[in-house]
């Protein structure tokens, strides 16, 4: 059995997901650890990996294409690009023979925030969540709106900014995140870790590092 743990994070932009991911990389550097790094993959390898992903997860792939092209009014090109790259990355990691801890601060659970609203049919969301390729740990990074807005406003050379519409739907998206967390927790297939990141709490983050380390070292072959 390959020794591998796949970790995703979910939280609003500015909640601190990327910071925490980079902190994990430093603290777990004695292990073979990988974060999402779409742009270092060669184009040919991405194409091959994506074809393998379609063969492995046909229903999930179809759902993503459907939501991107028929449910989104904007950001279609960007979301398609993210999906293609994440799919390539995931299948590359799945069939790798190397032992790894894989961390993605914006994985498939996070992308579902673009496709759904709580006011819509929750059955569609539930079906989508059930088809997301398996992971081991989902970390919910919870941060107040004012802190998220402040952190994002200080970013330089980043493609996301809180415009007026994003500010308006902030509370709705946080409720959607909570729905996703509750749904995943009830499925009992994925370990849920909640982190309050309104203040930089290194002690709490180190507790998560310890959980990841213990889970990785206790995997049975």
Which pLDDT belongs to residue 1? 46
Domain extent for 154: 4-38+100-217
Decide if 111 contacts 82 (C-beta within 8 A): yes
* Dist. CA 2–CA 188, nearest whole Å: 22
To the nearest whole percent, how much of the chain has pLDDT over 90?
Answer: 49
Measured CA distances, 221 to 1, 23, 99, 103, 171 (Å): 5, 28, 11, 21, 43
Which pLDDT belongs to residue 121? 67
Residue 136 sits in a domain of what CATH number? 3.40.50.300
Instruction: Read off the pLDDT of each residue in 171-195 and give the average, rounded to a whole number.
Output: 93
- Does the pLDDT at position 187 exceed 50? yes
Query: On the CB side of 101, how many CA atoms lie within 13 Å of its CA?
Result: 22
- pLDDT tens profile 125-177: 999 999 999 999 999 999 999 999 999 998 877 778 898 989 999 999 999 99
**188: in domain:** yes
To the nearest whole percent, how much of the chain has pLDDT over 70?
Answer: 92
Instruction: Provide the domain count of the chain.
Output: 1
**179: in domain:** yes
**14: in domain:** yes
Residue 220's pLDDT band, with cuts at 50, 70 and 90, is low
**54: in domain:** no
**117: in domain:** yes
**187: in domain:** yes
Residue 97's pLDDT band, with cuts at 50, 70 and 90, is low
- pLDDT tens profile 110-126: 999 999 987 666 888 99
**211: in domain:** yes
Decide if 102 contacts 7 (C-beta within 8 A): yes
* Dist. CA 192–CA 181, nearest whole Å: 7
**20: in domain:** yes
Which pLDDT belongs to residue 136? 92
């Amino acid at each position: 059995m390959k020794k591998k743990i796949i970790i995703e994070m979910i939280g609003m932009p500015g909640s601190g997901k990327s910071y925490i991911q980079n902190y994990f990389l430093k603290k777990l550097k004695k292990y073979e650890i990988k974060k999402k790094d779409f742009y270092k993959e060669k184009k040919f390898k991405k194409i091959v990996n994506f074809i393998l992903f379609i063969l492995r997860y046909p229903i999930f792939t179809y759902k993503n294409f459907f939501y991107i092209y028929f449910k989104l009014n904007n950001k279609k090109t960007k979301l398609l690009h993210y999906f293609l790259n994440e799919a390539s990355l995931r299948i590359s990691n799945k069939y790798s023979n190397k032992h790894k801890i894989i961390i993605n601060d914006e994985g498939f659970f996070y992308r579902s925030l673009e496709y759904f609203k709580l006011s819509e049919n929750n059955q569609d969301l539930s079906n989508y969540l059930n088809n997301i390729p398996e992971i081991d740990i989902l970390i919910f990074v919870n941060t107040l709106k004012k802190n998220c807005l402040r952190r994002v406003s200080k970013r330089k050379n980043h493609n996301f900014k809180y415009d007026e519409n994003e500010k308006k739907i902030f509370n709705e998206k946080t409720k959607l995140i909570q729905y996703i967390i509750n749904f995943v927790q009830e499925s009992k297939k994925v370990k849920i870790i909640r982190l309050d990141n309104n203040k930089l709490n290194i002690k709490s983050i180190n507790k998560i590092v310890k959980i990841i380390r213990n889970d990785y070292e206790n995997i049975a072959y």
